[in-house]
Amino acid sequence: GRGPSPGIVAPVTSDTSGPVRLFDTARGAIVPFEPGPVVLMYTCGITPYDATHLGHAAAYTAYDVLQRRLRDLGHETRCVRNVTDVDDSILAKARELGVHYLDLAAAETARFDDDMIALDMLPSFSEPRATSAIADIRGFIGMVLEKGYAYEVAGSVYFDVSKWERFGEISGYDEATMLEYAAERGGFPDDPNKRNKLDFVLWQPSADGEPAWESLWGPGRPGWHIECSALAMRDLGPTLDLHGGGTDLIFPHHECEAAQSEAVTGEPFVRHWMHQAMVRMDGEKMSKSLGNLVFVSDLRQTYDTRAIRLGIVGHHYRDAWEWDDELMPASQDRLERWLAAGEGTGALSEVREALDNDLDTPAAVAAIDAAVDAGLGVSEAAMLLGVDLLATAKPRLSAS
């Protein structure tokens, strides 16, 4: 029979339409995204040294809505999201606070997980921590060296970009732009040990007081990019259907991940690159380094978490948007209207069509608004946006 058997997802059915069309960063165009029955996805996770802000919530909501639509189409989705629990920023913050970096990481990861659950994010397939995967990372670096794409200098191992002709093909950036971003984003182009300014570190000696692991190249710790390649390969295999992250990760992070992964496996690393734009506040990207943050835990003290989601999906994932104090009250009002409309399939086909059009969540929200105005229940359509109208009221987070 053709019915689904245990562990096998139902085939894509015609009445839900599809395929999803998504913008692919490497191709620079909206293209059909047509994975097999099981969709292998990877999104870069957090560095757990501070609370979850709205930029994180917006990023993971985009991949969550995509997974909901893919599951609606009959796919199984497996999304891996790493936790970077050792890097320059977390070590600096732990030093500043006078705590062990892993205690800081564990506490902030727990807060992040609590926010993700409150926002009804689908569970990840796995959430590996970098420090739990040092053996995998060392093994991966060993393979890059063996293939001749890396070199060792004074206890560090660098990837040699001059040997990788396709370097720059994901971002499409010219060399001057790559150098500018490398300097801005921790790539240290002027490191005198490098053969080429854009070479990037795979392994580095630890500074005094920093954690260090034994390796063939001396005691040290991994570079920034290598953990994602090692973890993606370990948990999902050599080729991902889709890799996500913020636009600020396109270069150098994703360009470097792709180079080292393809150098090792000889196979395509990623079939489709999906990047979400930044949330801004006071005209600047919301970021820890600038301190212009709206924390999810603060919003949770005042608003239903479904309203936070509605505030996010009212914006398209590829449009950078500016935080506005009117957003949450307006989103809470919208949630109340949708809740009053109640159970039903109003706007379901319009929402599916909108999501298939490069995840056009603003159009989906508008379609649901129109159905509500027409007196229809909209619970099924709202669920595709991750807004569960049939759940009991979401308790607010009490201030502690």
- Give the footprint of Zn ion on this chain (CB under 5 A): 44, 228
Among 311, 318, 389, 381, which Cα is nearest to 352's?
A: 381
The residue among 67 and 229 lying less far from Zn ion, judged by its C-beta, is: 229
- The minimum distance between CB 59 and Zn ion, in angstroms, equals 12
Please report which helix (H) or strand (E) contains residue 372, including its range. Answer: helix 361-373
Output the smallest distance, CB 137 to Zn ion, in A. Answer: 13
What is the spatial distance between Cα 245 and Cα 258, in angstroms, rounded to a whole number? 14
Shortest separation between residue 257's beta carbon and Zn ion, angstroms: 6
Which of 33, 36, 89, 27 is CA-nearest to residue 63?
Answer: 33
Least Å distance, CB 107 to Zn ion, is: 22
| Shorter beta-carbon distance to Zn ion: residue 178 or 232 | 232
CB of 364 to Zn ion, least distance (A): 28
Of 113, 121, 110, residue with least CA distance to 79: 121
User: Between vectors from CA 80 to CA 216 and to CA 265, what angle results, nearest 5°?
Assistant: 50
CA dist., res. 141 & res. 157, Å (int): 8
Nearer to Zn ion, 40 or 228 (CB): 228
Which among 45, 67, 50 has a CA at the least distance from the CA of 133? 45
For tokens 């015609």, the residue is: 14
Q: Whole-angstrom Cα distance, residue 346 to residue 267? A: 44
CA atoms lying within 13 Å on the CB side of residue 29: 3
Looking at beta carbons only, is 18 or 128 nearer to Zn ion? 128
By beta-carbon proximity to Zn ion, the closer residue of 150 and 226 is 226
CA–CA distance, 303 with 314 (Å, rounded to integer): 16
CB of 130 to Zn ion, least distance (A): 10
Q: Which is nearer to Zn ion, 44 or 371 (CB)?
A: 44
